[in-house]
Amino acid sequence: MTDTAFRRSMLCLPASNAKALAKLAILECDATIYDLEDAVAPEMKAAARAALIGHFAAGAKPGVEHVIRINALSSPWGEADLEAVAQCRPDAVLVPKVERAADLAAVAATLDKAGLTETRLMAMIETPKGVLNAAAIAEAHAPRLAALVVGLNDLRKETKVPRGPNRHLLVPWLMQVVLAARAHGVVPIDAVSNDFRDLAAFEAECTEGRAMGFDGKMLIHPAQIEPANRRFGPSEEEITAARKIVAAFDAPEAVGQGAIKIDGEMVERLHLDEARKLLALLSFEGKGNP
């Protein structure tokens, strides 16, 4: 199982799209979500599964987290999707429209029977019940549950909140998912931005999402990868500040100190922990040497 330090950019693409699968080798997303659900028409489901099995057999790109989004087990395609998962052996399975812990338990049990006990779970939170039960879902399945991924298109449809130029009406629900994820050590992933041509609006949404506490974003187009990586990744200023905090606490005069002054501000050991985690992530990804 491949683990990843960053999930800044999780690119979702139809498993039935051979051209898109072929382009993955040159893309710099942190994770690929191979979609067997919404992006694949019912008459193409079988062909999509076959294409996905062939893609993995040929050797999926290393260093990237590979996630397969299945159809719900209650659908006509869910069980066949999990049979394909057993052949592909991805890092994680993304389950759509999760509303209760039992929705994931059934998937986990099927994976275990196939010998995929190390395969992680991810849950799409895209219904009112899913939002209300997000904490219970995360608590029941941590640490196997890797991420809660918000699906705003379905959530808007079910709540009748119309699409608009911003997401201010949805912020309470988004924050509820973030809180549930953080409470149980699960990564929260922000929803897709549908207009992939408007990259300025997309960047603004990434900035907003990071400010709300999301670790990354689900994407629908390769053009969104670079801005997502940049907006959800640490800036040079943050990296410099982290190194300065670690160096200051490593100094002999800081031994035994719970808080020290750096550049006129009091910095506590909780900030040291955050700094070390950031530098460890950079080292893991080969993006810097702490």
pLDDT at site 139: 98
pLDDT, greater one: 112 or 166:
112
pLDDT tops 50 at residue 3 = no
pLDDT at residue 290 above 60?
no
Output 284 or 158, whichever has higher pLDDT.
Answer: 158
**Which tokens go with 37?**
């659900």
pLDDT class of 284 with cuts at 50, 70, 90? low
> How confident is the model over 208-236, as pLDDT tens digits?
999 999 999 999 999 999 999 999 998 88
CA separation for the pair 44, 159 (Å, rounded): 30
The pLDDT tens digits for 229-277 are 999 998 888 888 889 899 989 888 888 888 888 888 898 988 888 888 8
Q: Which own/partner contact pairs does 114-117 have at CB distance under 8 Å and 24+ positions apart?
A: 114/82, 114/85, 114/86, 115/86, 116/85, 116/86, 116/89
CATH superfamily of domain region 9-232: Phosphoenolpyruvate-binding domains (3.20.20.60)
E strand residue ranges, 112-262: 120-125, 145-150, 187-190, 216-219, 259-262
Mean pLDDT of 64-87: 97
Least confident segment among 4-8, 48-52, 159-163, 200-204: 4-8
- How far apart are the C-alpha atoms of 87 and 70, rounded to whole Å? 14
- CB neighbours of residue 113 within 10 Å: 11
pLDDT at 108 over 60: yes
Q: What pTM, to 2 d.p., does this model score?
A: 0.88
- The structure tokens listed for 148 are 């809660």
Q: What is the pLDDT of residue 289?
A: 34
Domain boundaries defined on the chain: 9-232, 236-285
Tokens of 157: 């449809």
Q: One-letter amino acid identity for 81?
A: D
Give the model confidence (pLDDT) of 131-162 as tens digits.
999 999 999 999 999 999 999 999 999 999 99
Grade residue 163 by pLDDT with cuts at 50, 70 and 90: confident
* Burial class of 251 by CB neighbour count within 10 A (0 to 12, 13 to 18, 19+): exposed
Q: What's the confidence (pLDDT) of residue 121?
A: 98
- pLDDT for the residue 257: 86
The dihedral through the CA atoms of 11, 16, 20, 22 has a sign that is positive
Mean pLDDT computed over every residue of the chain: 92
pLDDT band at 2 (very low <50, low <70, confident <90, very high): very low
Looking at residue 288, its pLDDT comes to 38
